[in-house]
């Protein structure tokens, strides 16, 4: 089953994230959407929950912020482990994927008999421009 049609609130939140330069906190999204009738955090969090579930949005744990997925979502595409570089200077976030990392992590947790549900990889530092 693919991604269902987005509801009004989900579309608004998705739009805000898509048009943003970088990641946004839930409360920043709320402020951006006040003109569209948003009044309470829960409206944002509920939409984000669904967007995360559909894989359209990622949560950056080390930032408590959210970013639109940078991959095409036209066709079904379950993009395994997602990693990010996050620049402390300009805030730029780059999403990337690597099969080798994924396999290595998979082997390591299997050795622990651990069952993975979600993997977070976030690299904080400085991008080329901000070095």
Partner DNA sequence: TGGCGCATGTAATGTTATTACATCAATTGC
Partner DNA sequence: GCAATTGATGTAATAACATTACATGCGCCA
By CB under 5 A, the residues from 77 to 96 that bind Zn ion are 87, 89-90, 92
78 sits near its own copies (criterion: CB under 8 A): no
70 sits near its own copies (criterion: CB under 8 A): no
88 sits near DNA (criterion: CB under 7 A): no
Distance in angstroms (rounded) separating the CA atoms of residues 69 and 128 = 22
53 sits near its own copies (criterion: CB under 8 A): no
Interface with DNA (CB under 7 A): 7-10, 25-28, 37-43, 45-47, 50, 64-65
């Amino acid at each position: 089953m693919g991604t269902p049609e987005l509801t009004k609130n989900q579309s608004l939140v998705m739009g805000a994230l898509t048009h943003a330069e970088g990641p946004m906190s839930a409360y920043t999204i709320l402020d951006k959407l006040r003109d569209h009738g948003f009044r309470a955090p829960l409206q944002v969090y509920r939409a984000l929950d669904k967007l995360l579930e559909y894989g359209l949005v990622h949560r950056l744990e080390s930032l408590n912020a959210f970013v639109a997925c940078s991959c095409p979502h036209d066709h079904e595409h379950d993009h395994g482990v997602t990693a990010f570089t996050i620049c402390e200077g300009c805030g730029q976030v780059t999403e990337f994927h690597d099969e080798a990392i994924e396999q290595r992590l998979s082997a390591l947790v299997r050795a622990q008999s651990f069952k993975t549900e979600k993997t977070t990889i976030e690299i904080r530092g400085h991008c080329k421009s901000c070095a």
